[in-house]
Structure 1
Amino acid sequence: MVDFTDEDDALLSQLGVSVETKKVVAHTPREERIIAGFEEVQRFAEEHGRSPQHGEERGIFERLYAVRLDRIRALEECRTLVMPHDHQGLLGDEIVSAQPDIDEMDDEALLAELGVDAETPDITTLRHVRSSAEKRAAEEIANRERCEDFETFRPFFDQVQADLKSGIRISRKFVKDAGFLKAEIKAGQFFILGGQTAYVAEIGDQIRAPNGETDARLRVIYSNGTESNLLLRSLQRALYKDEAGRRITEPTAGPLFASEAEEDDAASGTIYVLRSKSNHPLVSENRDIVHKIGVTSGSVEKRIANAKLDATFLLDDVEIVATYELYNINRVKLEKLIHRIFEPAKLEIKIKDRFGRPVVPREWFLVPLFVVDEVVQKIKDGTISDLTYDPQQAKLVQGGA
Structure 2
Amino acid sequence: MGKKKTLDDIFNDDDFGLLDVKPEASNVKSEEDRLIDAFEEVNTFIDQNQREPNTENMSEYKLQAELAHFKKCEATKETLRLFDRHNLLGHIETNKPNIDDILNKQDAFGLLDLDKDLSIFKFNHAPNTQDRAKTDLVAKRTPIKEKEFEKYEKIFQKVHQELKSGKRKIKTFKNVEKHLREKCFYLLDGILLYLEKVDFKRNTGNLGKNTSKRKDGRTRVIFENAMCSNMLYRSLGKSLYANGQIITELNESQAQELFVDAESIKEEDIVTGWVYVLKSKSNNPEISNIQDLYKIGFSSTPVEQRIKNAKNEATYLFADVKIMTTYKIYNRNAIKLESLLHKFFSNTCLNIDLFDGKNQRITPREWFIVPIELINEAIDLILNGHIMSYKYDAINQLINERLPQSKNRN
- Range class of TM-score, shorter chain: 0.3 to 0.5
Normalised to the residue count of structure 2, the TM-score between the two structures is 0.45
Structure having the higher Rg: 2
Normalised to the residue count of structure 1, the TM-score between the two structures is 0.46
